Chain A
Amino acid sequence: MPRLPDRLRYWFLVLPALAIMIVFYIWPLLGIWQISFTEPEAGVANYTRMFDSSAVTTSFIITFRIAIQTTIGCLILGYIVAYVISNFARRAKPLMIALVLLPFWVSVLIRSFSWIVLLGRSGIVNDSLIGAGLIDSPLRLMHNEFGVVLAMIHVMLPFAVLPMMANMRGISGAYVDAARGLGASEFTAFRKVYFPQTMPGVMSGALLVFVLSLGFYITPALLGGGRVLMISEYITYQIQEFLNWGLGSALSVALLVATAIVILIAARFVNLRSALLERGS
């Protein structure tokens, strides 16, 4: 039997998945985008309306601001967790990895509601602070941006920890040992030798968290009190409340384009290939 050329075999294997993607994902998506230019009438009216509306502009600013805050929070906390698990946990390692993964099994909805229980006016946090005599009246911990970012960091943390952990696993301890042997302090060895090697993991974690955060819906809707309106909630609003598919679709196109621009800018400064495709080595 004649052997298929390698190139053809590759396409042969990819084709079914690609066909499913085109039919069930790309085709409907293009349909949605088409609506943005055709409803209620043909043209770019939806886009001009979008740029004229200060509500839309603000919603975009809020969305990006929250995504950035969430990303920074996740990177700081996630780095510590990944670092500790990779370098210090020995016997407890499987348990700690399981604890990182566990939240994946609980729905975002439940996790967001749990924050309501914790952060409410008569929630556990406020009650214990008042009980301890630290504050007189309840703090406003939710129905604002603080509550949204806090809950989103909780939801997104595993997405930051896992790529960083994968990256750190591939870093040989010999380099740090060598630096220490040549007289570097522990901190200098970390800063000059270890940390640069973890950058691909940090970058892939950051991109993952940031891009996923841009599309967040449930958590801000529940904890934002209506004042923290992220763009995906705004899209739902347009489509469900006003049957305004045109503007809703235009917003989703804008979100995608904005995300792409962010990634392209990021690509100028970091090596995306090594950040996304080569975790560790």
Chain B
Amino acid sequence: MTDFNDTTDHEAKADLIEIAAYRYKEGLLTRRGFVAAMMALGALPALSGKAMAQAKEIVVVNWGGEASEVLQKVMADTYTAETGIPVIVDGSGPSGGKIRAMVESGAVVWDLCDSGMGTAIILEQQGVIQPINYDIVKRSDVLEQAAYKSAVGNYVYSYVLATNPKMLGGNVPQTWEDVWNVKDFPGMRTFRKSVRGMLESATMAQGVPMEEVYQVLDTEDGIDAAIDKFRQIRDHIIVWGSGSDSQNLFLQEEVSIGNIWSTRAHLLKDQMDEESFSASFDGGVLAPGMWVVPNNNPAGSDEVMKFIAHTQKPELQVQWLELIGSGPANPAAAPLVPEHLQKWNPTSPENMAKQIFYNDEWYGKNQVAAEEKYIDALIN
């Protein structure tokens, strides 16, 4: 168990389940869709027998909730309509450990899994996932940072600077440097209870250019300097543990500034008035979800690659953004995004230019040690 250093962000994925529950309550999601998504959470055993029997069927696994519902409707059903091949979405959560156990025990029932960069790298090293067939999946249909040998981009979310202009008297921080300026921008700030996406901001706040952030963080001094930034303003920090925590802190006006997921910002913009919520992608950190295909998947390699190619279609990815707030992994989708959503798209060219890409190799190496220092800075 401990040799499996899985740094994938399961919380970010599970967060989509919560978003689904909220959307259903608000009437933005049908009851049928919601029930189907929730049922999928526990439907794996029943599904697997069927999946083994019918090799022509494609079973896609993601993390449940609205993501399952949207995936089924937007990607799976449209594929079935085009090709006649049934696609079933299972929301039971394809953790790296489960995929590895399945492949090693020879009982593979999943064809395609929604994974993260960290897990994808580990699974690739362990040799339990298939290389992506870039003859079928188009490399040009995905952001270059999200095209790996055995994993390919699926959607993209990001860590963004969110603010409540009303609480700040209209004086809104523009950069991470401003966020650390507690004199001119008063009020509590919220950061994640984990270093993921946070150390990058603290490094930029020291005036380090975006492109050099991970270079600086690659040294012990760089990490310590970033940690020290949090120590400096810790009396002004409330941390968020889950996505809904971050949303609550803004809704209850406990914080005036925060570093939160763009998917939560997407919800907050609808919940709060325009004067009391804004978010900026400036200095944000993009994190992609990745498709991986387990070795010896029942539907066969080509079949599942064809489905991945289908999910790359820009118009389908735009629907993703509209329904769930996750950005398209296909750069060609950006121009198709409706006007009012363009500034909320993490992967629009304008927003991409302002952000950096999450560096999972760095996290694999440094996360655990950095977390310890981060906690120490907050409490000590």
Contact = CB atoms under 8 A, between A and B. Distances in A.
Interface of A: 39-40, 53-55, 58-59, 62, 120-122, 143, 221, 225-229, 234, 237, 241-246
A159 B2 CA distance: 39
Contacts, number: 65
Nearest to A237: B375
A37 to B, nearest CB: 14
A226 B378 contact: yes
A227 B237 contact: yes
Contact of B238 (A225, A242, A245, A246): A225
Contact of A243 (B1, B193, B375, B376): B1
Contacts of B4: 243
Given A59-B375, A143-B254, A227-B237, 20 more contacts: A40-B2, A40-B3, A53-B372, A55-B375, A58-B376, A59-B379, A120-B254, A143-B188, A225-B237, A225-B238, A226-B238, A227-B379, A229-B378, A234-B375, A237-B375, A242-B371, A243-B1, A243-B2, A243-B5, A245-B2
Contacts of A40: 2-3
Interface string B358-372: 000000000010011
Nearest to A120: B252
Query: By CB atoms of chain B within 10 A, which of A39, A53, A243, A244 has the most?
Result: A243
Given A120-B254, A143-B188, A226-B237, A55 B2 contact: no
B172 to A, nearest CB: 19
Contacts of A229: 375, 378-379
B194 interface: yes
B376 A53 contact: yes
A244 B254 contact: no
Contact of B368 (A59, A121, A242): A242
A242 B6 CA distance: 8
B234 interface: yes
When A and B form their complex, which 6 residue pairs have the shortest distance between CB atoms, in order from nearest? Answer: A226-B239, A55-B376, A225-B238, A58-B380, A55-B375, A40-B2
B253 interface: yes
B239 A225 contact: yes
Nearest to B240: A226
B372 A55 contact: yes
Contacts of A221: 241
Interface string B1-41: 11111100000000000000000000000000000000000
A241 B194 contact: yes
A39 B2 contact: yes
Nearest to A62: B379
A58 B1 CA distance: 28
Contact of A226 (B3, B193, B368, B376): B193
A225 B254 CA distance: 11
B276 to A, nearest CB: 12
A220 B6 CA distance: 27
